[in-house]
């Protein structure tokens, strides 16, 4: 088998490692303090034909948590149903209450079928909705049309 070699770290390496650990601990403490201070936040609802994703952010836009219908356990075509959207909204509302978010602004994006049911579920769960805004991208002039067909 042979002897086992123990690698001794120098003082500089040990200092670097402790600084890394301390900075990581500071960041986690800052996140906890920030989450305790956040009473208001934003919920972004992205609803497509295939999935529904809800993202909870603070008022500055930093992501606190997110949930999608696929992450909950829906598969295939069931992910884009209004029922799945309501379940996703209930899940993120519970997470928001744990974090301490009470007032939310809702930003809706996409053309899926679960947009309205997600908003209703958020309101029914006790979150105070201050505004609802549709941020679905709309083309102003669209792309260049096809060239004229010659017959």
Q: What is the DSSP letter of 19?
A: H
Which residues does residue 106 pair with via DSSP β-bridges, in sequence order?
Answer: 43, 132
Is 94 a residue whose pLDDT tops 60? yes
pLDDT the model gives residue 67: 96
Closest CA to 91 of 73, 110, 105, 107: 73
| Domain map (residue ranges) of the chain | 38-134
Beta-strand relationship, 52-58 and 40-47: antiparallel
pLDDT the model gives residue 20: 84
pLDDT the model gives residue 25: 80
Fold of the 38-134 domain:
Nucleotidyltransferase; domain 5 (3.30.420)
Residue 48: CB atoms within 10 Å: 15
Per-residue pLDDT band at 24 (split at 50, 70, 90): confident
pLDDT the model gives residue 139: 86
Those residues with Cβ within 8 angstroms of residue 143's Cβ, 6 or more apart along the chain or in another chain: none
Contact 55, 48 (CB under 8 A): no
* Per-residue pLDDT tens over the stretch 96-145: 999 899 999 999 999 989 999 999 999 999 999 999 999 999 889 888 98
């Amino acid at each position: 088998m042979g002897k086992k070699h123990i690698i001794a770290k120098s003082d500089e390496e040990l200092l670097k490692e402790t600084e890394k650990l301390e900075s990581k601990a500071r960041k986690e403490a800052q996140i906890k303090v920030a989450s305790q201070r956040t009473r208001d936040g934003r919920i972004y609802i992205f609803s497509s034909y295939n999935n529904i994703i809800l993202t909870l952010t603070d008022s500055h836009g930093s992501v606190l948590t997110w949930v999608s219908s696929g992450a909950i356990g829906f598969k295939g075509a069931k992910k884009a149903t209004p029922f799945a959207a309501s379940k996703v909204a209930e899940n993120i509302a519970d997470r928001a209450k744990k974090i301490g978010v009470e007032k939310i602004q809702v930003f809706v994006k996409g053309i899926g079928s679960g947009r309205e049911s997600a908003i209703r579920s958020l309101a029914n769960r006790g979150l105070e909705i201050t505004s609802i805004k549709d941020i679905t991208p709309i083309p102003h002039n669209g792309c260049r049309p096809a060239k004229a067909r010659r017959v």
